[in-house]
Structure 1
Amino acid sequence: MLSRRGDRVPGLLSALASACRYCWVDVGRGCRRWWPRRWWLRALSVVGVAVVVVGLMAAQSIVEALTRPGSDPVAARLAEWGRDHGLGPLVTALEAGQYEVNKPRIGGAPPGGIPRPPGAEAEHPGGQPAPPPLRPPVGVSPLPGEGQWQPVVSTPRGVAVRATTVRPDAEHTSFLVGVLWMDPTLVGGVLHPGTVDPGGHWSIPPKIDATEQRSVVTAFSAGFRLQGDSHGGWYQDGRQLRPLVPGAASMVIDTDGRVDVGAWGGEIGMGPQVAAVRQNLVPLVDNGVVNPTCATGGTRQWGSTVGQAAFISRSAFGVTPTGAMVYVGGPALSVCTLGELLRSAGVVRGMELDINPAWVSGVYFHPNGRPQPPAFELFPDQQIGTQHYLQVSSRDFFSFDLRSVPENR
């Protein structure tokens, strides 16, 4: 007969006696347990320790994300953390849910009408001539001042930057989108790396430092995250942090600051004069025509966040036939309406940049040869403050500087 501890008997009986301590089945008149005594306490202890360890690791990582240098909003930091830790689908689902309950309102008028751009300055002859007024969306009559370009950075050699405001479309008529026009003969572009995206060490700092602040005229966010969402590469200092993708929409900055946009390997490509390349999705405007997939394309064309037809904050950049550069940023934009605004501003080749309110921003400055120049937001209700790009940034961005700083303003 076997005891609860098991008798030392040969062969099969000995094995059964040993295993008996882990079962409910009686062997002879012996054991009656399936698991060791208090097995559930041990299991809970193991699970509890695992949860605590994972929780501590996640907490430390979240704290690091929330306390890193820069002025990124908390919601943006948490979303970035989630995507970095395999929670991208969950973040996207939450963003989509938030959009469904907070869709931009239809109809109405902008409170106070079309504002005059803050920091508007006087005209100065020189440089490229002013572009034609930007036409308002099809189906709406222009409001006073809508689409009228105003000098916002004026130098003795001409107007370097102009700005205007328009409504996004004939439905979302209470929202305002900001548009910047930059003279390529007076300003040149710079691609700044972010400390996280792309990360690494580069010759350009992850902010507009005190030296560049003496000549900077504009700054705005770059494209989608490089960890897959942008479907493109990143190049600077003679090396590709991520491989450049043939056919991808690409913003190219030459060593002299000249900027161009196009499909990589098509209108533009690598050469000894190329200083930086930032790719993002596919071309939005080509040969002056908006990409016909703007309403139907999938994640490969326009990204996985919310959807190309959602009317959310978006931004884009393009060039005109004369080389003038145009930036568009604001709320209540679909991919199609964003592309249409670029086209209306005379852009022949353009690309979508970043989206969502936590990232879309445009800032222009009055360079006076000193650090901390006066700064102005491009469009109303912009979430990103004017000092954002003067601080260390976790994400890459573009700035544009005067080719020579005027002695007097």
Structure 2
Amino acid sequence: MVFHNGGGRPRPTLLRRWGLTAALLVLALLAYCVHDAVSLPGKDGASAKLARWSRCHYLGYVADVVDGHPRTAPSGDCSASDALTQAQPLAAAKPKPRPTPTVTPVPLHARVRPLVSPARPGEGVFTPLSLVKGQPVIQSATMRPDPYDTDFPVGVVWMRNKALTFQLHPGAEEPGGSWAVPSTIPAGRRTGLLAAYNGGFKLSNGDSHGGFYLNGRTAVPLRSGAASEVFHRDGSLSVGVWNQDVAMAPDVVGVRQCLVPLVSHGAVTDAVRYGGTDVWGLTDGGNASVPRSGVGIDRHGDIVYVGGRELTVQSLATVLQRAGAVTAMMLDINLSWPSFISYDGKRQPRDPVPHNLVNFVRDATRYYDESSRDFVAVYARR
């Protein structure tokens, strides 16, 4: 049907208007698509990109005109590059790498300034004694006590407190009695064993001037002001003056007291300089230089042990202080008692081989047998 205006000229029908509008929309969409097609990333030219887009959208005849020769199928991967019909997939999120656990390396302890000058090569220099996971958690050094006793070196041991467990063992006679902890290191308790060392003066006759406490039981009353080894539930060890530096607490499982401090606040005490046998005990033959031993703690909380066959009270205190002890105490003295033993479990972890630190008179297996006096066993901490 055609409508005429007054002048007789026909007007466009509604259908033609709709058709023209649709054509314009198609052309606009085509122009948009072609623009996006040639704008795709890549080294190909605009004609190659347009041809590829045409074949991917089933317009092969257009591609033939652009390329100048016919093809029967699209080339390349249409789905991967068709940014007009589908969204690009998001890149998979890469998992964050987990940090590799690191073990803080344990450095070798600084050299201890020897007692004798001039020093011999290697004197006072620490070397690894026991390794845990490749780290030298127990280290040792030796030095001469004086220019004459060259056959009786002093042994110095440094122990990393956080890497070790210290366990107090009662002796069969000192303090005596029946305990859940044995007076030996039995065959079933040697795995992880790294070291053992002697306890203090006798408790039964009051020579120690201090007490003994283990697992809630007091064998000899603890004394305020006494130098004390304090054993904690987590296996760590403290050394201090009772009720001054250290005291009873819920985590304390053992206390071994002996005399007064050799070193306090990093300095050798006046008792060392002026004390006599009433302070430091009777010695074999009344000699000043006899087998002696002592233990201390440094400013980092690590443990220092010193022992040897020929030591005065002054030389023992001096070596402990030079080795870094800020608080230190004497342990046992005279020929049969001082000892530091290391254990090598490389071949037999459940039954490690014992070795004396220096030439102590007792055999290195002494704590594998029943001990008449108390001692300390040192294990690798689990």
Asked if Structure 1 and Structure 2 have the same fold, meaning a TM-score greater than 0.5 normalized by the shorter chain, the answer is yes
Matched, 1:208 2:209: no
Secondary structure of the structure 1 residue equivalent to 2:190: helix
**Mapped pair 1:271 → 2:273:** no
Following TM superposition, by how much is the alpha carbon of 1:324 offset from its aligned partner in structure 2, in angstroms?
Answer: 1.1
Q: Distance in 2 between matches of 1:159 and 1:335?
A: 29
> Could you tell me whether the CA contact under 8 Å between 2:126 and 2:140 is conserved in 1?
yes
Structure 1 match to 2:271:
293
Structure 2 residue 259 is matched with structure 1 residue 259: no
Secondary structure of 1:363's aligned partner = strand
**Root-mean-square deviation over aligned CA pairs:** 2.0
Alignment of 1:9-408 (within 5 A): 126-137=104-115, 139-156=116-133, 158-170=135-147, 172-227=149-204, 228-306=206-284, 310-368=288-346, 370-380=349-359, 382-404=360-382
Tell me by how many angstroms 1:302 deviates.
1.1
Q: Distance in 2 between matches of 1:133 and 1:325?
A: 16
* Structure 2: stretches of 5+ with no match in the other structure: 1-101
Secondary structure in 2 matching 1:145? coil
Shift of 1:215: 1.0
TM-score between both structures, scaled by the size of structure 2: 0.69
Q: Per-residue displacement from partner, 1:187-211 (whole Å, max 9, x unpaired)? A: 1111100111111122211111223
Q: Tell me: CA distance 1:127–1:241, structure 2 relative to 1, closer, same or farther (3 Å).
A: farther
Please tell me whether the aligned partners of residues 132 and 380 of structure 2 are also in contact (alpha carbons under 8 angstroms): no
Structure 1 length as normaliser, TM-score? 0.65
> Which residue identity does 1:396 align to in structure 2?
D
Distance, in Å, in 2 between the alignment partners of 1:186 and 1:150 is 17
**Residue identity opposite 1:316 in structure 2:** G
1:216 alignment partner AA: L
Would you say the 8 A contact 2:108–2:127 is kept in 1?
A: no
Structure of higher CA gyration radius: 2
Equivalent in the alignment of 1:12: none
Contact 1:212 1:401 in 2 (8 A): no
**Change in CA separation of 1:222 and 1:187 when aligned onto 2, cut-off 3 Å:** same
Q: Percent identity among equivalent residues?
A: 39
CA distance in 1, matches of 2:105, 2:277: 40
Aligned length: 279
Query: What SS is found at the alignment partner of 2:186?
Result: coil
User: What secondary structure does 1:341 align onto?
Assistant: helix
Q: Deviations over 1:9-54 (max 9, x none)?
A: xxxxxxxxxxxxxxxxxxxxxxxxxxxxxxxxxxxxxxxxxxxxxx
Distance 1:162 1:125 in 2: 18
SS in 2 for 1:214: coil
Structure 1 residue ranges (4+ consecutive) displaced by more than 4 angstroms after TM superposition: 306-309
> Cα distance 1:325–1:179, how it changes in 2: closer, same or farther (>3 A)?
same
